[in-house]
Amino acid sequence: MVSPYLTPLVIAGPTASGKSGLALKLALKHGGEIICADSRQFYKFMRIGTASPSDEEMSLVPHHGYNIVDPRSHKIDAGFFIDFVKKQVNLLQERKVRPIIVGGTGLYLRALRFGLCDVPRSDPRIIDFLEKECDEQGLEKLYERLLLLDPESALHIKATDKYRIMRALAIAFQTQEKPSSLRHSFVQKIPKFKAHWLLNLIDKTKLEIRIRARVEAMLAAGLLEEACALRSMLSSEHWALLVMGYKEVLLYADNIISYDAMIEQIIIRHRQYAKRQIKWFKQEDFYCHKINKKF
């Protein structure tokens, strides 16, 4: 039987809230190791723009999952995340090490907590059909179709997010059900993953200051160079080039926007993302009252 002191600790929260720093502090103090729960930090070649742990931080405490997936050939999903986390948790507990899972991807953490609903993998034939439609009619038409089929899902997907639009349409075509109804099917279940769930929130004003400081630090660390290098590896339509930060610095690199406009646009996207994360996590009923000196 696993000791209660080896029960995983999950630290969630919005971008730039300090959750990674808190995880590192707890891991150093109590001998834990950190597992990634950020959908973007799993990828190689995107370390600066996703605020992945630094070399120094990774030398202080073992980190698992960061910068391991090649975006040129793989796109991870919640199923990948759950399998990865459960495997790492088992390995750490076997070594009598406390797993500390940290990140801000709410859907992945909800799926880990309650389990995945029964959603099939996309049928390649349907994806090929949708790709052809997108080429002939444009992504806007696909998004309009999703709005008709499942307005609730469309509200949570940007009109420019080709991957998620096509994924939602593929689910609808394959299951004859709305993707939103399948998503809700695991929201109210009893948790399947035993852990302490901690939501790390800070004051709105302080969060905005931290977001600006983070963006400036990313640019100083070489975000522009990283984005240009990433673009050289990928097709012009690749999803990674639309990730917040990368899209804006590439617009600057192409002389489409000014340096100051680039900074402000990145900050605005981070603020908007943080707002969505806060709204999501406040519905998750995470808590911190069980976190003590031995967590």
Each residue's pLDDT tens digit, 31-70: 999 999 999 999 999 999 999 999 999 999 999 999 999 9
Q: In DSSP terms, which residues pair with 197 in a beta bridge?
A: 10
**Among 3, 2, 66, 4, residue whose Cα is nearest residue 33:** 66
Residue 284 lies in a domain: no
136 lies in the same domain as 257: no
Residue 157 lies in a domain: yes
Instruction: Report the pLDDT value the prediction gives residue 293, as an integer from 0 to 100.
Output: 45
Q: What crossing angle do the helices spanning 162-175 and 139-149 adopt, rounded to 10°?
A: 40
What SS3 state is found at 196?
Answer: strand
Instruction: Report the pLDDT value the prediction gives residue 291, as an integer from 0 to 100.
Output: 44
Cα(76)–Cα(166) distance, rounded to whole angstroms?
15
pLDDT of 186 above 70: no
Instruction: Report the pLDDT value the prediction gives residue 123, as an integer from 0 to 100.
Output: 81
3-state secondary structure 253-287: HCCCCCHHHHHHHHHHHHHHHHHHHHHHHCCCCCC
CATH of the domain at 64: 3.40.50.300
CATH of the domain at 263: 1.10.287.890
Cα(67)–Cα(57) distance, rounded to whole angstroms?
14
Instruction: Give the model confidence (pLDDT) of 110-123 as tens digits.
Output: 989 988 765 666 78
175 lies in the same domain as 219: no
Residue 149 lies in a domain: yes
Instruction: Report the pLDDT value the prediction gives residue 290, as an integer from 0 to 100.
Output: 40
Average pLDDT over residues 94-100: 97
Average pLDDT over residues 11-15: 96
96 lies in the same domain as 218: no
Lowest-confidence pick of 55-69, 159-173, 268-282: 159-173
pLDDT averaged over the chain?
A: 90
pLDDT of 212 above 50: yes
47 lies in the same domain as 147: no
130 lies in the same domain as 192: no
Instruction: Report the pLDDT value the prediction gives residue 289, as an integer from 0 to 100.
Output: 35
Residue 28 lies in a domain: yes
104 lies in the same domain as 167: no
Residue 92 lies in a domain: yes
Cα(229)–Cα(71) distance, rounded to whole angstroms?
13
149 lies in the same domain as 40: no
152 lies in the same domain as 251: no
pLDDT of 292 above 50: no
Lowest-confidence pick of 2-16, 62-76, 152-166, 229-243: 152-166
Cα(281)–Cα(14) distance, rounded to whole angstroms?
8
Domain count, the chain: 3
Cα(262)–Cα(227) distance, rounded to whole angstroms?
13
16 lies in the same domain as 76: yes
pLDDT of 262 above 90: yes
Answer with the one of 166, 201, 236 that is the final residue of a domain.
Answer: 201
pLDDT of 150 above 80: yes
77 lies in the same domain as 193: yes
Average pLDDT over residues 10-35: 96
- Print the domain residue range for 62: 4-117+186-201
pLDDT exceeding 70 applies to what percent of the chain? 92
